[in-house]
Structure 1
Amino acid sequence: MKTKGRGNGQKGKSPKKPVKRPALGVPDKATLLAFLNEAKTAIGPREIAIAFGIKGDERRALKAMLRELADEGAIAKTGRKEVASRTVPPEGGMFQIIEIDSQGELMARALGREDELYGPLVRLASMRAQVRHEGPPPGVGDRFIGKTRQTQEGEYEVQNIKRLGRVIERVFGVFMAADVRPGQAGSGGGRLVPADKKQRHDLMILPEHAKGARNGDLVAARLLPHRGYGPKKAEIIEIFGNNENPKAASILAIAAHGIPMGFTAEEEEEAQSAGPAPLGNREDLRHIPFVTIDPDDARDHDDAVYAEALPGGGHKILVAIADVAHYVTPGSALDEGALMRGNSVYFPDRVVPMLPERLSADLCSLMDGVERPCLALEIRIDAGGHKQSHRFVRGLMKSAASLTYTQAQMAIDGMPDAVTAPLLDTVLKPLWAAYRALEKARDQREPLEINSPERKIILSPEGKVLSIGLRDRFDAHRLIEEMMILSNVCAAETLEEKRSPLIYRVHDQPSETKLAALGDFLATVNMKWAKGQPPSPARFNRVLELAAPTEHAEMINEIVLRTQAQAIYDTDNLGHFGLNLRKYAHFTSPIRRYADLIVHRALISALGLGEDGLKKTSPEQLKKVAEAITATERRGMAAEREATDRYVAAFLSERVGATFDARITSVNRFGVFVRLEETGGDGLVPVMRLGSEYFHHDEAGHALIGSETGDRWELGAKVRVRLLEATPVSGGLLFDIVSQPKVGPVPGRRALRGPARGTTPMRKPGGPPRGVTRRKR
């Protein structure tokens, strides 16, 4: 990749500020390094020779010295000839993010003429504006045009000027040996089947690049230089399992997204040396019959609840949260590791925890019958669910029972078991009474009501998929959600009142561009969206309510969901649009989220609850932490989604040829994506499978329209599909639609001559006239 004027060296240019030389001639190594450091740019032997007045045979000596310095690691080659110092970054040019350090900082290095990395690792300056408004936050692999500066502390940082996108450094997938024979695993060369759905073609692996990989191995490979025609080649650099492993789906996702696995010896030592927390100065809460209510497959318990009625119809709610801050102190190995991970990542077959098991599943987990330290919150609400007061304490509690959502719901519905029966009148019914009050306040607040079901994958002990369905949704879920939301509000309010540093959980309102697209779409289904009025959750809810009895309900639900911004962590309070709350911070899950641990520490310091609170932290440092944990959250979500897709594809691979009920979830120029109602699996129906005519892509109407018949395949439509292909390696599903399309008006002749207003025509090379595209079955 070659870019003009990016400040990392161009032929014919001498350095900006050459150092003064006492004499001309071949310099010694120290003088040459000082010259390169002061140049702050990549330059070639010719420019160096000119600067030092080197001529004739002396040039050979210069080249030999440059080779020696490169072998010693003092300088880096940035192109075919250019070199640069490894100790000083260039003043500007192209950079690439290389890693996230132990403090959560994004670190970048400069790029040379031929994409060679050089110079030292440089900290990336704050990019909050891009995190909020320019799509996903920056991450490892991203490239950008940057400008460096030296801070007051003498360190270097680079400011992003223009984001350029992400480069694929490594490709993950399954190695398929070319010479496999019965009873053999294969050896030598073969091909790499990529695990990324976007990688459409296999990569060639020559024998000298296989590095001992055997047929079916899960591998990471480095792309090799590719010029001209023919298949792309790659070199295997890591082998981390075999595709025959039923748990290969999550193994691939963990490797591909760089999810940190395991813990350092220092982290394990700190975790193992920890012990139960004494009562000390804590408030004794052991007499209160707290209960935890979690999913059936919960691996840790970091919140417990209790409620009781108050005179006048109000309620007192107690929420106890695991006191992780007691065990994970600022600057410790556990703290650095937790920041690097950012959060726990959950897969159908495993969890990659933020903290060692000694803490996450033992000392910090609020297991029943065991004393555990907690940061507790007492909230008093009136009969309408409105908060009257709250206070935080640091306590010692003992859970009365660890319940599942199903278990608690069945008890309330009149089917208690041996565990819930003794708790029904004293614990569960008061909790539900408090929830009913909170429900009233929630209805008045009108948060965004979008239906977004979650898939649940059931595995055998060996890791084979037994079944896939949608998770049940009970009032028990909503009870815990409402109490946790209220607790998060209390945490944000308290820290604001104390003027404490704070990382908010913010959800910005939708952008003007997305709102305009929503308005254009609603017009196609005869619904109105007043563009001059500010957006609000209530407005979106009215749209969803009006759409509910119509055939467009699912489609509109999907469009409204896509219109929303993504929630992030930030030190600036933008409020939480979806929840319709002005102040909101994550407080209730410190076992699995670093953001919550920061809020715990801030509360401990602000309220004088101990010496292990938040240390003096600059606003800029806290912003960096917010950006880092936003990036790790996105990384974990992507890995979880990919692993789930692979498990679904593996489950369906034995049902190729079967038909399923589905719904169209996305419409593109190249086809439609559908989601199966039975399993939630997502897959593509290529446009060539939709009919034997030309199809226009109506972007505003989210539909593909047949130019001869007016047949419409539109977002949200229910369809019957046949599974043509399932690829467990990538999680890809390919379908054919066997049901009939919706009949619509035939496009006018203008559409056949050129693009109709609001549509995007497609054309194959050598195909039909512009504006239409032939599709064959």
Structure 2
Amino acid sequence: MTRTPKLPRTPRANGSFQGLPDDDTLLEVLRTARELDVSDLAKQFGLKGDERRALRQKLKLLSESGKLNKSGRKTFGAVGTLPETGVAEVVERDVDGDLWVKWGKADDPKLKHKPPLARLAPLKRTVAQTPPTVGDRIYVRFEYVNDEWIAHLVKVLDQGAAKLVGVVRISKKGKSGREIRLESVDRKAKDSYTLVAGSIDSLEDGDVVIAAPQGGTHRFGPKPARLVEVIGKEDSPRIASIMAIHAHGLKVGFASSTEDEAKNAVAPDLKGRKDLRDLPLITIDPSDAKDHDDAVYAHADEDEANPGGHVVWVAIADVAHYVKSNSSLDRDARDKGNSTYFPDRVEPMLPHVLSSGLCSLQEGENRATLAVRMVFDADGKKISHSFVRGLMRSAAKLSYEQAQAAIDGTPDEQTQPILETLLKPLWAAHACLTRGRNARQPLQITSVERKVQLDKDGNVVAITPRVSLEAHKLIEEMMIQANVSAAETLEKHKTPLIYRVHEQPSLEKVGNLADFLSTIGLPWNKGEPPRTERFNQLLNKEKDGPHFDIINEVVLRTQMQAHYSAENFGHFGLNLDRYAHFTSPIRRYADLIVHRALIRALKLGDDGLTDYEVKTMADTAEHITATERRSMQAEREAIERYVASFLENKVGATFEGRIVGVTRFGMFVKLTETGADGIIPASSLRDDYYIHDDTAHALVGERTGKRWPLGRLIEVELLEAMPMTGGLVFKAISEASPPDPNAPRVRLGVRSRVDSSRGGKPVPRNGPGGGSRKPGEKPRQKGVTEKSKTKKGKRR
């Protein structure tokens, strides 16, 4: 590495310096200015010629070492800072109802460290515009106050989600009038609204509607809103999914031109394709699957040079044949980004005539496919692969349960004839791939998914855990290897693609993990780079111990969120250098782009990736990341509402659960049987004043030292179930855990009021209404006289 030449620094008369600054001075200047380009820095220090070149070299070295961010070709900024002003996107609403924004350049791959999110400051009373909400693009002024970044709204640039979903509540007003309130279905929402415009005369109590805020200045009381659409009744069994769809702006249905294109689609013949119809490929999917993206076939490798090796075929529906670039089908698919799955319905990315018809690899039907043939050695290491565009015919359609039962010794009429010839070779190949997976050491975090079962009318009849079978793992690993093969092929041919990336945990998150582990007596070297093998060692060592569940939860929270990117940052969770989504083009637009890229790279047809798609690859990656997260949030909210509906008639019952979240205002509990999530407000813990210990992930009693730690099993009583919002409120039946003798004693907190019934003793104040503060924080209620400084809880 080239060293920066050391040049003399001559003090100026005013106390500043003439000449090349040292690292500390340079970093301090950038911290103060937030962001400067090389020319501005050179002028500030009076540098010319060789000194300017030395400055550029110094900035490059500091950037490579991670001490500053390079946010442009010649622009640098201090790590962890935001510019004075900039375009931002409202990305989420936290549990307190506050909005958080992301700076527009935050996803720039040139940035070594991602800038922090900023909390959106409350609107000024004089701002007469519709308040921003999640999904909006806004222009803001950033300010660093009390250890957190605040974004002050200057202008709303794009109102991406300016609507409300709520339940109508009608009350009498005066002798003959009525007031129409809107009860939001978003339990994090702070504001209340009154419907004052639109076709409101025919509204009835219990109508579920979409409304738009009217804007304007309203100092007190509910804000005005305009009725947009009535979407259902609150007592409708299927309203949960409908509310989630509208609340998140999911596109429903397709343009008529898209439907026409799908109806007129023609299946391909063998021209330009390899005939794979004699290859006994089979599909293995959930029992209720309507579309079948992938089919598999495996056999022992007959090559004497690869003893113990296996050949695995993965055939994927050739969606690119039907969905041409910039067609109406393509535009609708890109807008949606992915299919969205609810307990009672699917909002597909493609029309059903394709997703469940021509693109679905149905048993006994000729289907267009893009397939990959992969060869693995005896240790499960992939030694070669090749792609073909062909015509296939599925030999069997099996469910995971069918295939597993056959391998376990109870085949049925469909699986018995193919047990020896198809299923057992598949399982032998899976055993081979598993050896390679174990050597690779992907992250092994434990998680349990739940399935909401509905009757024909849409009522919840059961909530059951999804059982993980070896058949699931077989398909998963074969799909992973096909995805890797796609990424490797496109990199080899220097063809742009959309990667599926999962960056390694930040040093801050790993440091937080280390701090937590120290509270339970487990060592972790903060200076050690994050490695999946190291996380797995920790989880395996503690799997039978008393702290496994909390360790598993904290390790999960340490991880970053996977996303799509036109640049490769690797996939930390799978421990892979390169990874792309190739195997589900029916339901993910990313996979369709990868298919087109393979067609272009391998010259498999004239319907490959276009130059325009190459040019806009980064924008597409950002867009489909946003649509994926939008769908995930909508799916989660719908499930929460269905679960709350299921538990509504069980108020007063007791359940076993586990503490899965601890905040300053309470504890989140996941019930063992149903997986339902709810909250125990800190205000309900009356035996002490509980303080949030964010290092130990616990609520700690200020007087007694008793603890409510993350991961602890707990018995709770259900106090309230709210189907419209999906909210559940619990009461702790179990006693708090005893004090930890090794933990530092918490400091005495400030009390906000005195109760005469307690002999003048302070009343413990917990909960989000102002007592959910740490000791010394200023209460939110009016009439409180303490002047201690408030410090807003940081987003984590």
Question: TM class, shorter-chain normalised?
Answer: 0.7 to 0.9
Aligned counterpart, 2:747 = 751
Match of 2:114 among 133, 142, 146: 133
Offset, 1:620: 4.4
**Alignment partner of 1:212 is 2:205:** no
Instruction: Work out whether residues 197 and 226 of structure 2, in 8 Å CA contact, stay in contact via their aligned partners in 1.
Output: no
3-state DSSP class of the match of 1:212? coil
Aligned counterpart, 2:490 = 495
Aligned counterpart, 1:178 = 171
**In structure 1, distance between residues paired with 2:568 and 2:410:** 44
Match of 1:251 among 220, 242, 245: 242
Offset, 1:275: 2.1
Aligned counterpart, 1:63 = none
**In structure 2, distance between residues paired with 1:442 and 1:619:** 33
Aligned pairs (5 A) from 1:55-454: 127-129=107-109, 133-134=114-115, 140-145=135-140, 169-178=162-171, 189-199=179-189, 202-206=192-196, 210=200, 212-224=202-214, 225-311=216-302, 312-454=307-449
3-state DSSP class of the match of 1:376? strand
Aligned pairs (5 A) from 1:536-547: 536-547=531-542
Q: Which range moves more in the overlay, 303-312 or 249-258? A: 303-312
- Change in Cα spacing, 1:164 to 1:439, as seen in structure 2 (3 Å) is farther
Instruction: Work out whether residues 292 and 401 of structure 1, in 8 Å CA contact, stay in contact via their aligned partners in 2.
Output: yes
**Alignment partner of 1:727 is 2:722:** yes
Aligned counterpart, 2:656 = 661
3-state DSSP class of the match of 2:315? strand
Instruction: Work out whether residues 207 and 233 of structure 2, in 8 Å CA contact, stay in contact via their aligned partners in 1.
Output: yes
Aligned counterpart, 1:183 = none
**In structure 2, distance between residues paired with 1:502 and 1:487:** 15
Query: Cα deviation per residue 1:633-690 (whole Å; 9 max; x = unaligned)?
Result: 1111111111111110111111111111100011011110000111111111000222
Aligned counterpart, 2:471 = 476
Q: Which has the higher contact order (CA 8 A, sep 6+)?
A: 1
Match of 1:558 among 553, 556, 561: 553
**Alignment partner of 1:516 is 2:539:** no
**In structure 1, distance between residues paired with 2:105 and 2:116:** 18
Aligned counterpart, 2:123 = none
**In structure 2, distance between residues paired with 1:139 and 1:227:** 21
Gaps of 5+ in 1: 1-91, 100-123, 148-159, 181-185, 773-777
Instruction: Work out whether residues 696 and 771 of structure 1, in 8 Å CA contact, stay in contact via their aligned partners in 2.
Output: no
Aligned counterpart, 2:59 = none
**In structure 1, distance between residues paired with 2:157 and 2:664:** 25
Offset, 1:139: 6.9
**In structure 2, distance between residues paired with 1:696 and 1:220:** 39
**In structure 1, distance between residues paired with 2:556 and 2:134:** 25
Aligned counterpart, 1:597 = 592
**In structure 2, distance between residues paired with 1:414 and 1:665:** 39
- Change in Cα spacing, 1:303 to 1:188, as seen in structure 2 (3 Å) is farther
**In structure 2, distance between residues paired with 1:445 and 1:579:** 8
Aligned counterpart, 1:56 = none
Instruction: Work out whether residues 340 and 347 of structure 2, in 8 Å CA contact, stay in contact via their aligned partners in 1.
Output: yes
Q: Which amino acid aligns with 2:596?
A: R
**In structure 2, distance between residues paired with 1:227 and 1:687:** 32
Instruction: Work out whether residues 369 and 399 of structure 1, in 8 Å CA contact, stay in contact via their aligned partners in 2.
Output: yes
Instruction: Work out whether residues 197 and 225 of structure 2, in 8 Å CA contact, stay in contact via their aligned partners in 1.
Output: no
- Change in Cα spacing, 1:357 to 1:146, as seen in structure 2 (3 Å) is farther
Q: Which amino acid aligns with 1:169?
A: A
- Change in Cα spacing, 1:743 to 1:284, as seen in structure 2 (3 Å) is same
Q: Which amino acid aligns with 1:391?
A: S
Offset, 1:767: 9.4
Q: Which amino acid aligns with 2:114?
A: H
Match of 1:709 among 688, 692, 704: 704
Q: Which amino acid aligns with 2:454?
A: L
3-state DSSP class of the match of 2:748? helix
Offset, 1:401: 1.3
Q: TM-score, normalised by structure 2?
A: 0.75
Instruction: Work out whether residues 324 and 597 of structure 1, in 8 Å CA contact, stay in contact via their aligned partners in 2.
Output: yes
Offset, 1:188: 5.1
Gaps of 5+ in 2: 1-83, 92-103, 119-132, 143-152, 752-772, 791-796
- Change in Cα spacing, 1:377 to 1:745, as seen in structure 2 (3 Å) is closer
- Change in Cα spacing, 1:450 to 1:771, as seen in structure 2 (3 Å) is farther
- Change in Cα spacing, 1:286 to 1:479, as seen in structure 2 (3 Å) is same
**In structure 1, distance between residues paired with 2:691 and 2:158:** 30
Offset, 1:474: 0.3
Q: Which amino acid aligns with 1:404?
A: S
Offset, 1:290: 1.0
3-state DSSP class of the match of 1:743? coil
Q: Which amino acid aligns with 1:559?
A: V
Q: Which amino acid aligns with 2:422?
A: V
- Change in Cα spacing, 1:771 to 1:617, as seen in structure 2 (3 Å) is closer
- Change in Cα spacing, 1:508 to 1:424, as seen in structure 2 (3 Å) is same
**In structure 1, distance between residues paired with 2:688 and 2:323:** 63
3-state DSSP class of the match of 1:483? helix
Q: CA RMSD for the aligned pairs?
A: 3.2
Q: Which range moves more in the overlay, 607-616 or 233-242? A: 233-242
Offset, 1:177: 2.5
Q: Which amino acid aligns with 1:289?
A: P
Offset, 1:132: 8.8
**In structure 2, distance between residues paired with 1:381 and 1:426:** 19
Number of aligned residue pairs: give it: 637
Instruction: Work out whether residues 169 and 181 of structure 2, in 8 Å CA contact, stay in contact via their aligned partners in 1.
Output: yes
**In structure 1, distance between residues paired with 2:564 and 2:308:** 37
- Change in Cα spacing, 1:642 to 1:503, as seen in structure 2 (3 Å) is same
Aligned pairs (5 A) from 1:449-460: 449-460=444-455
Offset, 1:745: 4.4
Aligned counterpart, 2:36 = none
**In structure 2, distance between residues paired with 1:309 and 1:501:** 34
Instruction: Work out whether residues 442 and 532 of structure 2, in 8 Å CA contact, stay in contact via their aligned partners in 1.
Output: yes
Query: Cα deviation per residue 1:368-421 (whole Å; 9 max; x = unaligned)?
Result: 111100001111111111111111001111111111111111111001111111
Instruction: Work out whether residues 139 and 631 of structure 1, in 8 Å CA contact, stay in contact via their aligned partners in 2.
Output: no
**In structure 1, distance between residues paired with 2:566 and 2:211:** 39
Q: Which amino acid aligns with 2:169?
A: M
Instruction: Work out whether residues 649 and 726 of structure 1, in 8 Å CA contact, stay in contact via their aligned partners in 2.
Output: yes
Offset, 1:608: 1.1
3-state DSSP class of the match of 1:650? helix
Match of 2:580 among 576, 580, 585: 585
Identity %: 48
The structure 1 segments of at least 4 consecutive aligned residues displaced by more than 6 Å after TM superposition are 92-99, 135-139, 160-168, 746-750, 767-772
Q: Which amino acid aligns with 1:719?
A: I
- Change in Cα spacing, 1:177 to 1:754, as seen in structure 2 (3 Å) is closer
**In structure 2, distance between residues paired with 1:618 and 1:472:** 40
Aligned counterpart, 1:506 = 501
Aligned counterpart, 1:54 = none
